[in-house]
């Protein structure tokens, strides 16, 4: 959202420039260079303010991720643990993956916003909830063929992370 003061200022400047141009045209005088430059400056100023506001909003956007006994909730979308078949960890991220040809889902949790203790707890929750019989890096993103549903122990974990 553009700062209201900037928006009102640009709107008033544009309105004044258009009024001045209208009066000049009404009296048969060509639009003055000053009026045209004022109108252009108002439009360009508002456009730059809008771009800056969007960039700041994107940088501030925080997603709420909740891991509990029911599954993973990202903002308002909830996904059951049974949907995920693998998880992967590298230097920068945790990745939760669902299998299947249709409805494939990846949830990426950047490590940048998670401290070491929370990362260890997250590893435990992911291992208990998604692949208790496998190591996370071995055979990542491959469907598991369980004979029976493994026992799941879940702790509630709430993470806040900003997209890169």
Q: Is the pLDDT at 141 greater than 50, yes or no?
A: no
Query: Could you give the CA distance from residue 74 to residue 163 in angstroms, rounded to a whole number?
Result: 12
- Give the angle 61-141-161 at the CA atoms, nearest 5°: 15
Question: 103-128, pLDDT tens digit by residue?
Answer: 778 888 888 878 888 888 888 888 88
Alpha helices in 100-158 (DSSP H): 116-129
Query: What count of other Cβ atoms lies within 10 Å of the Cβ of residue 81?
Result: 19
| Helix or strand (DSSP H, E) at 158 | strand 157-161
Measured distance CA(97)–CA(81) in Å, rounded: 10
Cβ neighbourhood burial of 130 (10 Å; 0-12, 13-18, 19+): buried
The answer to whether the Cα torsion of 53, 63, 136, 124 is positive or negative is positive
Nearest to 82 by CA among 105, 63, 66, 65: 105
Instruction: Output the CA–CA distances (angstroms, integers) from residue 46 to 16, 38, 42, in the order listed.
Output: 15, 12, 6
pLDDT in tens, 36-94: 999 999 999 999 999 998 888 877 666 777 888 888 887 778 888 888 888 888 888 88
| Whether the Cβ atoms of residue 13 and residue 5 lie closer than 8 Å to each other | no
- pTM of this prediction? 0.46
């Amino acid at each position: 959202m553009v700062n209201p003061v900037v928006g009102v200022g640009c709107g008033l400047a544009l309105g004044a420039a258009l009024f001045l141009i209208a009066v000049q045209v009404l009296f048969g005088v060509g639009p003055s260079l000053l009026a045209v430059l004022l109108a252009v400056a108002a439009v360009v100023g508002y456009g730059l303010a809008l771009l800056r506001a969007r960039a700041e909003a994107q940088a501030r956007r925080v997603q709420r991720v909740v891991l509990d006994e029911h599954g993973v909730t990202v903002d308002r979308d909830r996904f059951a643990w049974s949907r995920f078949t693998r998880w992967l960890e590298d230097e920068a991220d945790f990745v939760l993956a669902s299998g299947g040809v249709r409805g494939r889902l990846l949830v990426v949790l950047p490590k940048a916003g998670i401290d070491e203790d929370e990362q260890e707890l997250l590893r435990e929750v992911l291992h208990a909830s998604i692949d208790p019989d496998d190591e996370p890096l071995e055979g990542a993103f491959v469907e598991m063929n369980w004979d029976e549903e493994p026992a799941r122990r879940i702790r509630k974990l709430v993470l806040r992370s900003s997209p890169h």
